[in-house]
Structure 1
Amino acid sequence: MQLPQNQWYIVLAANELRRKPLGAERLGRRIVFWRDRAGVAHAHGERCPHLGASLSAGTVQGDTLVCPFHGFAFDGAGRCRHIPANGCDGRIPQGMALETWILREAHGFLWLWLGRPRDAYPPLPYFEELGEPGWRCRTDIIDWPVHYTRAIENQLDVAHLAFVHGAAMGQAGRSFVDGPYVESDAAGIRIWSSNRRDTGQAGRSQAELRAAAEGQPARIRFLFPGTWMLHIGPSVRNVVAFVPINEHSTRYYLRFYHRVRVPVLAQLFELALGWSNRLIIGQDRRVVVTQTPASSLDAGSDRFIEADRAIIAFRKVLAGLLAAP
């Protein structure tokens, strides 16, 4: 599976992993996740190197993950610590170890480092403002049968809104004349969009759109490899973590952040916006599953227009990350 290397990937919501081992397909791999007795999360290849049993069917004993087949015990670094059939002081064969990935737990997610080990790792790619006091969030989990590139590009595309979501957003039948204005670098993409209705006037130039964006928060921000945020208002945000499962499937961790403090009102607000988000995502899904080729990495025949600036930027940065050593 083609994925940018040397990146932090969200792989699970933190509350999905408890004491019992959890097997999951992520990033084109079968991975077993587990917590030691201190609650620290670990990630390894799911296959036991002895005879290939699934370690997700095993147990956690102390600070080791124990295979359900012959009781081989592995620590958080993937080293085999005990083989019952060899006795308490028995020799551990060389190479009896698990493929292991570095995990971090932050922002309510588990993050996996895909790439070469380092002495110091880069910061996790999340939105710093959401770590400030006062934010509450609701999380929904949705799986799509699409490649991660198509899933991400759909959320960077502002031109489809009036056509796919027209009734839901009150924009049915409208077209808009401006933008978007897009900035990008190796870290991510920032999009400022305009809802100036098309009545036959000329669209504003990129210089004019850039001037209008000056000092304004980006409407959409995307951080590589897969976190997206929609700035709805001063106290409301939508966040999506795109998690590649395999070549044909992507998981969405869809979060709705707000600052409503009264518990009953907050719950009603979350229910209403959660319903709205699922409706809109469902409308997107009906179209995105029809796109060919399945991966935009293979979509060399696509023909772009001015409104596709964010998609063009995404593909350009992604190509650079995939080509990086």
Structure 2
Amino acid sequence: MGDVPLRLGGFGYEHTTAVFDGTVPIEGADVTATTAPLVSDIFQGMVRGEYDVAELGLTYFLRLWDTAESPFLALPVFPNRHFRHSALFVDDRSGITRPEDLVGRTVGEFALWGHDPGVWMKGVLAEEHGVTPERMSWVIGGTEHPLPPFSWVPQPVPDGVSVRHAGAGETLVAMLEAGEIDALLSVDVPQSVLEGTGRIRRLWPDHERVEREYFARTGIFPMMHVVAIRKDFHAAHPGVARAVYDAFLAAKDRIRRQYLDGAAKQHMAVITPWFSELFAENRRLMPEDWWPYGVAENRHAVDTFLRYHHEQGLSRERLTSEDIFVPELLDT
């Protein structure tokens, strides 16, 4: 029997590129790989049935879990992770200097009420600062460019929470600068923040210190995305899930080893000045495998996200890792 045809979608991160260009093969699979400049285009393609296996935002995966068909299972592969205290922005004129000042305010959120960074930060705000989502009003839209509603994915909103979509042609940055909203929760950094101009700033100006302290205290390096597999494809080809996992793991570990080996030469292949010092600082804080795949090393973080997703009214049930991952990979 020949290799199984496999339609694969995802973003071209440095730690996944070897899978997409075939340098690291998926054993037993004849792969047709697709990447896209916008990862949300991959998400939409997966939802529309264009891929058998693809990267999918955790909240997109979970929203579809609650549909009648519930078409996907997850592989414990996490191509996108990021600490997200840095994703909360305010206008200097707002008087917001601490999380508790968000109570009674209007917050803009990128793309969805409950995009992946939003789920993490709403969970942190509620759990660590007592600021729950219903204590704010919410406007959904694009950060620097107008963004229509993502009508191709369910958008549940719990009772008691005020949520509306920005109007046609409106952007969240313009609304923040005009005082129409008080804060912004966004995966995209406003251009004025990148340039150091204007009045928009991060809620936590020292966000790196806050995020490092958060990791030291919780052990959580927040994941945003998983790799999902269609249930029907998995049922027809049960061995492919393990092969996909093994390939992504091998590709990621190649890059991790590259950085470890590069330290001996002060990372001459990296364009960023003083990168070796940053790398050494990270290594003092984080474990040997600072970007782990598999269920065991990620259970606490995944189950925390699943709990937040349920508490925020985005999942009907409080799921656990055992519920969402392909059964044969629960031993990873």
* Higher radius of gyration, 1 or 2: 1
Q: Under a length normalisation based on structure 1, what TM-score does the superposition of the two structures give? A: 0.30
Query: Which one has a larger percent strand, Structure 1 or Structure 2?
Result: 1
Higher relative contact order (CA 8 A, sep 6+): 2
